[in-house]
């Protein structure tokens, strides 16, 4: 991985992209928090608030501005917001910073970024760009994971639960149980990798690019991540109660011991779903967000790193 950072001026005014999904009152609260943190650090920044529908467009425009200034582009929000802003920073090649405000914050925690917003803002002005690995599916960046099948449904149901009951890990777990209790279709997939091609049936295909997340559920591929590898996890066809046992295994960090779970690490695979006649798109989740993509799906480690402001 290239360790020579591109042009970056630590004195340039950074551009912050803030998720304004919670409404005007929450946005005002976030603005006050960020301005207080910037004042404490003795620095200025340009703050851009974006509704979810405008997040990608605002991120692209902000990335172009940051690159022209030789400044950092900073994401303020959860993993989905961080993904959208990182996509723009990676495409432009500009420095990337994070002020994490999500439920799990896997990306921030993996790179030892503070959970306290004031500390996270202060750290932005005390670090230099460090290259970190990103992965892509059909050239779309993901920092934590990408998946198809059951996992995107889990994410959609989790968002519905959050809207009703609030944001917490307990709510996320309850949502997962509710999803698993319903009937699920099995995916028919053709998976091509360097070792050859195979056909298989599975409830979900999960591709991880985050060592911390894989360590927490107990998968043996975790140490290979950030070393030019990412990991695939698949479930053999099983029933509802077996799925619930797997959920508990993941919660207790023993998922890798389950004989109904198959996992392997790789640099690149091509996945072709066997869908209904005429269907050319499949639902895919990226770092907590869900979208439709045309298949086949190419998962790989990007040859271009993301330059992240993080402690060395």
* Strand pairing class (297-301; 135-137): antiparallel
The two tokens of residue 109 are 């925690």
pLDDT of residue 181: 47
Tens of pLDDT along 80-125?
A: 899 999 999 999 999 999 999 887 899 999 999 999 999 999 999 9
Distance between first and last Cα of the chain: 15
Q: Domain limits of the chain?
A: 15-132, 142-301
pLDDT of residue 290: 87
pTM here is 0.85
Looking at the domain 142-301, which fold is it?
Tumour Suppressor Smad4 (2.60.200)
Q: Is 294 left (phi over 0), alpha (psi -120 to 50) or beta?
A: beta
Place of tokens 């053709």: 190
Q: How far apart are CA 55 and CA 250, in angstroms?
A: 32
pLDDT of residue 301: 97
Tens of pLDDT along 229-260?
A: 999 998 876 555 555 455 445 554 556 666 77
Backbone angles phi, psi at 187, to 5 degrees: -85, 140
pLDDT of residue 174: 57
Segments of the chain with pLDDT less than 70:
1-6, 22-23, 151-152, 154-184, 237-258, 275-278
Q: Are 204 and 147 in contact (CB under 8 A)?
A: yes
Average model confidence (pLDDT) for the chain? 85
Q: How far apart are CA 232 and CA 228, in angstroms?
A: 14
Q: Which CATH class is domain 15-132?
A: alpha beta
């Amino acid at each position: 991985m290239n360790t020579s950072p591109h042009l970056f001026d630590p004195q340039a005014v950074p551009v912050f992209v803030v998720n304004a999904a919670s409404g005007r009152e929450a946005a005002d609260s976030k603005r006050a928090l960020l301005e207080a943190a910037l004042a404490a650090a003795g620095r200025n920044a340009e703050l851009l608030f974006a509704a979810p529908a405008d997040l990608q467009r605002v991120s692209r425009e902000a990335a172009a501005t940051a690159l022209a200034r030789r400044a950092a582009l900073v994401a303020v929000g959860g993993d989905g917001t961080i993904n959208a802003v990182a996509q723009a920073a990676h495409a432009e090649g500009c420095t990337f910073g994070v002020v994490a405000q999500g439920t799990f914050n896997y990306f921030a925690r993996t790179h030892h970024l503070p959970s306290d917003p004031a500390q996270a803002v202060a750290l932005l002005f005390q670090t230099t760009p460090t290259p970190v690995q990103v992965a892509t599916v059909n050239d779309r960046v993901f920092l934590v994971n990408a998946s198809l099948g059951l996992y995107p449904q889990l994410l959609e149901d989790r968002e519905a639960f959050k809207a009703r009951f609030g944001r917490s890990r307990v709510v996320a777990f309850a949502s997962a149980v509710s999803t698993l209790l319903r009937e699920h279709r099995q995916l028919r997939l053709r998976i091509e990798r360097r070792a050859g091609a195979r056909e298989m049936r599975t409830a979900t295909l999960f591709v991880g690019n985050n060592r911390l997340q894989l360590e927490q559920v107990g998968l043996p591929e975790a140490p290979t991540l950030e070393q030019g590898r990412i990991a695939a996890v698949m479930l053999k066809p099983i029933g509802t109660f077996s799925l619930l046992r797997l959920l508990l295994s993941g919660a207790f960090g023993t998922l890798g011991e389950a004989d109904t779970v198959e996992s392997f690490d790789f640099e690149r695979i091509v996945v072709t779903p066997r869908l209904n006649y005429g269907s050319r798109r499949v639902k895919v989740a990226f770092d907590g967000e869900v979208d439709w993509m045309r298949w086949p799906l190419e998962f790989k480690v990007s040859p271009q790193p993301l330059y992240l402001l993080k402690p060395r």
